């Protein structure tokens, strides 16, 4: 579909899902923008204006499109009947499914984000992904747990992505199992803590209350 006189924001949103397809071959470079623009009937020079920050702007836009597609795939009514733990698991797994067709582009994106000059921006993107997942899960916390939950989930997600990049198992079963173990580690920690506090085994555990208790290394 040819776009007529789109704004830069509209152009960026339209091109973002296509960038990864071309970045897998051309890297996160102007060539990927030009190829994506050609697919939308947009002049390449004009399209480049939507990504003035180069590779990190392109990656940022692609990840934002993953955020949007994740919430489309798992709207609030779909998640409503699940526990918080199950919601977070489903949301991370939905992201893996969306990223799966473009793993080589993701690999190249991780390499770009790992550069020292991009560390701050990369951390913001990790935080944004975690925030999108918690909001989709229905989290409305405004106290310290708002920050601790997102910091921890960003780390869990980043660690899972590293496994995912080299996961050749069917339906990325190894990545899903790794994610389940990381979340179970959090649950186990809280159960142990509850026993020390004399809470006993009957206390109802909620991932949303204590996911911030453990820390996992971020990229």
Q: What is the pLDDT along the chain (219 residues), one digit of tens a residue?
A: 444 678 999 999 999 999 999 999 989 999 999 999 999 999 999 999 999 999 999 999 999 999 999 999 999 999 999 999 999 999 999 999 999 999 999 999 999 999 999 999 999 999 999 999 999 999 887 888 888 889 989 999 999 999 999 999 999 999 999 999 998 886 776 566 567 666 544 444 455 554 554 444 443
pTM of the model as a whole? 0.84
Taking CA atoms, 34 is separated from 45, 54, 177, in Å, by 8, 13, 38
In our burial notation (b when 16+ CB lie closer than 10 A, e otherwise), range 145-167 reads beebbbbbbbbbbbbbbebbeeb
What is the average pLDDT value for the chain, to the nearest integer? 87
- Quote the distance between the C-alpha of residue 190 and its chain's center: 25
Give yes or no for a contact between 130 and 147, defined as CB atoms under 8 angstroms apart.
no
Looking at residue 152, its pLDDT comes to 87
pLDDT digits (tens, 9 = 90+) for 32-91: 999 999 999 999 999 999 999 999 999 999 999 999 999 999 999 999 999 999 999 999
């Amino acid at each position: 579909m040819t776009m007529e006189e789109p704004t830069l924001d509209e152009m960026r949103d339209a091109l973002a899902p296509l960038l990864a397809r071309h970045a897998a071959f051309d890297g996160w470079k102007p060539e990927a923008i030009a190829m994506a623009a050609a697919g939308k009937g947009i002049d390449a020079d004009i399209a480049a204006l939507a990504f003035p920050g180069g590779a990190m702007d392109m990656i940022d836009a692609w990840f934002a499109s993953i955020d949007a597609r994740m919430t489309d795939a798992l709207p609030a009514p779909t998640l409503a009947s699940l526990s918080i733990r199950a919601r977070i698991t489903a949301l991370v797994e939905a992201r893996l499914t969306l990223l799966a067709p473009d793993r080589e582009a993701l690999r190249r994106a991780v390499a770009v984000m790992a550069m020292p000059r991009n560390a701050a921006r990369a951390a913001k993107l990790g935080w944004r992904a975690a925030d999108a997942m918690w909001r989709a899960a229905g989290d409305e916390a405004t106290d310290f747990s708002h920050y601790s939950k997102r910091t921890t989930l960003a780390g869990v997600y980043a660690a899972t992505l590293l496994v995912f990049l080299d996961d050749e198992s069917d339906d990325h079963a190894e990545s899903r199992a790794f994610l389940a173990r990381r979340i179970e580690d959090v649950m186990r920690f809280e159960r142990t803590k509850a026993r020390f506090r004399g809470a006993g085994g009957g206390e109802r555990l909620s991932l949303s209350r204590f996911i911030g208790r453990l820390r996992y290394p971020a990229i």
